C-alpha cells in the first residue's frame, strides 16, 4: 500500500522566493504534522512525504498511490484543493486533515473523500484500516490526543533540504487570545509530552538546529514550568548538541533558573507575542498575560537575552484601537523593549477564532470569496476592514513600521549591541538582513494585493 502525504504550497509565501533571496532558506520549515502522521502509520504502508514548498513534484511521473493525505493551514487551502482534485480524478481516495479541515469542515468535505478533524493520533490507524477494507468514512474526529500516544515523528522521511529540524513537546494553550487558533484547535488544557519521548525524538533529528514548534513552550502554571525545567535538565544531561528556537509567552522571563536551564538545553531564541504596545490593545485581543501589573517588558527581554537567547518580538497592526501612526508606535515599542527582531502582522480573522466570529458578525471580512481568497489569509495582507485604517492606510503603517525598525543604521546599532554583549551577533544580523531584504518584495506583494482587492470590490 502506497501513501503520499502532501504539504501544499502557497505561492504567495513559499520558498519560490528563495530565488530572490537566499536568506529564505532559513524560512522554510518542515511540515511536522505529516511526519507525525507517518509515525502513526503501520509498516505495511510505503510512505512518501512531499513538501511543495521545496518544489512541486511531477505527480504524473510518480507511481499511483493507494491513498493521499493532505494537510493545510487556511492559507494553503486553495492549493490543497487543486492537489486533491488531481488525485481524485485518478480515482485515488484523498483525505484532508489539520487546522483548516477542522475549522471549515463543510468546505473541505466537498473537496476531499474524507476529512479528519482535530488531532490524528486517536483515529489515523482506524482510517487506514477502513481504506484497506474499502469503507472510508466521510468524516473522522480524532479529538485531542493524550501526549503519551504521540508517536516519534518520522524525521528520516524529510532528511534534507531544510536548515532546521522540527519537534513538538507540548500542545494546547489556556490563554485563548481572540485572534489565535491554538486554543480552539488544540484546546485550553496544556499537555506536555513525556520527557523520555522528547529526548529520544531529539536524538533522532539530524539537523543541528531545530524549531520546537510549541505555541507556548513553558505554559502558565507552576506545575507546567516545573515540567519544562525537568525537560530542559534531561535535554542538557543527554548532551544533545542541538541549538533550538521556540515560542513562549513573556512569563518565560520570570524565572532565572528556567532561563538558565533552557539555555543549557540549547535554547538560542524565542518568539514572543507582544501583540500591541498599548494596554487597551492587549485588552481588546484578550492577551491577559501581558497585562499583568508591573510587567516591565524591557527588563523581561533583557533577562532572557542575558542567557544568550535572542528575542523575536511579534506585534499586530489593525486592532480596533489602532489609528494613523500605529506603525511608528510599534517600531518604537519594539526598540524600547530591546527585541533582536521584529515580526509585525496584520490582524487577520482566521476561521474558528473569536476574532472571526466578531468580524464576520460585523460584516468586516473584506476578502470573503472563499475558498479563492484564503490564499491571502497569511497574516501578511490586510484582508479585513479595519476600524480607523483604510486599505492604503494600514499598508502604509506596516511599511513605515518595517522601514523604521529595519533601517540600516538601526540594524547596525543592534548588531554592535550584540557584539558588545557577546550575544550571537551573527545570527541576529542575518535575521535582520533577511527581513530587510524582503521589504522590497513586500512592497510588490502589497501592490498586487491592492489591485486584486480593488478588482474584487468593483
CA distance 438 to 408: 14
Shortest CB 181 distance to ligand B12, Å? 3
The owner of cell 476529512 is 115
Rule CB under 6 A: say whether 284 interacts with ligand SF4.
no
Stretch that binds ligand B12, among 117-125, 283-291, 301-309, 406-414 (CB under 6 A): 117-125
Q: CB nearer to ligand SF4: give 350 or 445.
A: 350
CA distance 251 to 338: 16
Supply the DSSP string of 313-327, one letter for each residue.
Answer: EEEEE--TT--TTHH
Residues 25 to 54 in contact with ligand B12, rule: CB under 6 A: 29, 31-33, 36-37
44: cell is 505495511
CA distance 249 to 217: 8
Q: CB nearer to ligand B12: give 275 or 415.
A: 275
Selected from 121, 284, 322, 402, the binder of ligand B12 by CB under 6 A is 121
CA distance 310 to 99: 29
Rule CB under 6 A: say whether 249 interacts with ligand SF4.
yes
The owner of cell 487570545 is 177
Crossing angle of helices 222-237/256-264, nearest 10°?
Answer: 30
Instruction: Give 117: exposed, middle or buried? Use CB within 10 Å, 0-12, 13-18, 19+.
Output: buried
**CA pseudo-torsion sign 362, 187, 226, 33:** negative
Q: CB nearer to ligand B12: give 214 or 397.
A: 214
**C-alpha to C-alpha distances, 157 to 84, 165, 205, 269, nearest whole angstrom:** 22, 12, 11, 26
Shortest CB 51 distance to ligand B12, Å? 7
Selected from 266, 273, 277, 313, the binder of ligand SF4 by CB under 6 A is 273
The pattern of x and - marking residues 75 through 104 that bind ligand B12 according to CB under 6 A reads: xx------------------xxxxxx--x-
| Residue facing ligand B12 at closest CB distance | 97
Binding-site partner at residue 385 among ligand B12, ligand SF4, none, CB < 5 to 8 Å by type: none
Shortest CB 343 distance to ligand B12, Å? 8
Rule CB under 6 A: say whether 353 interacts with ligand SF4.
no
Rule CB under 6 A: say whether 186 interacts with ligand SF4.
no
Residue 219: closest CA among 230, 210, 228: 228
Binding-site partner at residue 95 among ligand SF4, ligand B12, none, CB < 5 to 8 Å by type: ligand B12
Selected from 84, 147, 182, 225, the binder of ligand B12 by CB under 6 A is 182
Shortest CB 191 distance to ligand SF4, Å? 13
Q: CB nearer to ligand SF4: give 109 or 176.
A: 176
CA distance 279 to 118: 33
Shortest CB 231 distance to ligand B12, Å? 17
CA distance 126 to 134: 12
- Helix (H) or strand (E) holding 417, with range, is helix 408-420
Crossing angle of helices 297-305/256-264, nearest 10°?
Answer: 40
CA distance 376 to 335: 29
Instruction: Give 362: exposed, middle or buried? Use CB within 10 Å, 0-12, 13-18, 19+.
Output: exposed
Rule CB under 6 A: say whether 186 interacts with ligand B12.
yes
Binding-site partner at residue 13 among ligand SF4, ligand B12, none, CB < 5 to 8 Å by type: ligand B12
Selected from 38, 49, 83, 116, the binder of ligand B12 by CB under 6 A is 116
Selected from 7, 216, 251, 300, the binder of ligand SF4 by CB under 6 A is 216
Q: Which residues bind ligand B12 (CB under 6 A)?
A: 7, 10, 13, 29, 31-33, 36-37, 69-71, 73-76, 95-100, 103, 116, 119-121, 124, 168, 180-182, 186, 213, 215, 345, 350-351, 378-379
Q: Which residues bind ligand SF4 (CB under 6 A)?
A: 173, 175-177, 180, 182-183, 215-216, 249, 273
Amino acid at each position: 500500500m502506497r501513501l503520499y502525504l502532501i504539504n501544499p504550497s502557497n505561492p504567495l509565501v513559499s520558498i519560490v522566493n528563495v530565488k530572490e533571496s537566499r536568506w529564505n532558506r532559513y524560512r522554510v520549515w518542515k511540515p511536522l504534522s505529516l511526519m507525525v502522521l507517518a509515525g502513526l502509520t503501520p509498516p505495511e504502508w510505503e510512505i512518501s512525504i512531499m513538501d511543495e514548498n521545496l518544489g512541486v513534484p511531477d505527480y504524473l511521473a510518480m507511481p499511483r498511490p493507494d491513498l493521499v493525505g493532505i494537510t493545510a493551514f487556511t492559507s494553503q487551502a486553495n492549493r490543497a484543493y487543486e492537489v486533491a482534485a488531481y488525485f481524485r480524478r485518478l480515482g485515488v481516495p484523498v483525505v484532508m486533515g489539520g487546522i483548516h479541515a477542522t475549522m471549515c469542515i463543510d468546505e473541505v468535505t466537498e473537496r476531499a473523500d474524507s476529512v479528519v478533524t482535530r488531532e490524528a493520533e486517536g483515529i489515523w490507524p482506524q482510517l487506514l484500516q477502513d481504506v484497506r477494507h474499502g469503507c472510508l468514512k466521510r468524516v473522522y474526529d480524532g479529538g485531542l490526543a493524550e501526549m503519551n500516544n504521540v508517536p516519534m515523528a518520522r524525521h528520516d522521511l524529510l532528511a534534507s533540504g531544510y536548515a532546521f529540524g522540527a519537534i513538538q513537546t507540548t500542545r494546547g494553550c489556556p490563554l485563548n487570545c481572540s485572534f489565535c487558533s491554538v486554543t480552539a484547535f488544540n484546546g485550553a488544557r496544556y499537555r506536555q509530552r513525556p520527557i523520555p519521548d522528547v529526548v529520544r525524538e531529539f536524538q533522532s533529528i539530524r539537523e543541528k538546529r531545530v524549531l520546537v514548534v510549541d505555541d507556548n513552550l513553558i505554559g502558565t502554571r507552576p506545575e507546567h514550568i516545573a515540567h519544562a525545567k525537568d525537560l530542559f535538565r534531561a535535554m542538557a544531561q543527554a548532551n544533545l548538541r542541538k541549538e533550538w528556537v521556540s515560542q513562549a509567552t513573556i512569563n518565560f522571563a520570570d524565572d532565572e533558573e528556567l532561563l538558565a536551564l533552557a539555555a543549557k538545553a540549547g535554547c538560542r531564541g524565542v518568539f514572543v507575542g507582544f501583540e500591541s504596545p498599548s494596554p487597551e490593545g492587549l485588552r481588546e485581543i484578550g492577551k491577559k498575560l501581558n497585562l499583568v501589573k508591573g510587567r516591565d517588558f524591557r527588563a523581561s527581554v533583557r533577562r532572557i537575552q542575558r542567557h544568550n537567547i535572542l528575542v523575536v518580538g511579534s506585534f499586530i497592526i489593525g486592532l480596533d484601537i489602532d489609528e494613523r501612526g500605529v506603525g511608528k508606535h510599534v517600531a518604537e515599542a519594539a526598540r524600547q523593549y530591546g527585541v533582536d527582531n521584529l515580526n509585525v502582522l496584520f490582524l487577520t480573522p482566521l476561521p474558528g477564532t473569536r476574532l472571526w466570529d466578531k468580524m464576520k458578525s460585523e460584516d468586516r471580512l473584506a476578502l470573503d470569496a472563499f475558498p479563492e481568497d484564503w490564499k491571502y489569509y497569511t497574516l501578511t495582507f490586510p484582508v479585513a476592514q479595519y476600524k480607523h485604517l483604510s486599505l492604503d492606510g494600514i499598508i502604509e503603517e506596516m511599511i513605515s513600521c518595517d522601514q523604521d525598525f529595519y533601517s540600516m543604521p538601526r540594524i547596525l546599532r543592534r548588531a554592535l549591541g550584540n557584539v558588545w554583549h557577546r550575544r550571537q551577533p551573527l545570527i541576529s544580523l542575518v535575521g535582520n538582513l533577511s527581513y530587510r531584504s524582503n521589504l522590497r518584495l513586500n512592497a510588490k506583494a502589497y501592490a498586487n494585493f491592492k489591485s486584486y482587492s480593488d478588482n474584487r470590490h468593483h
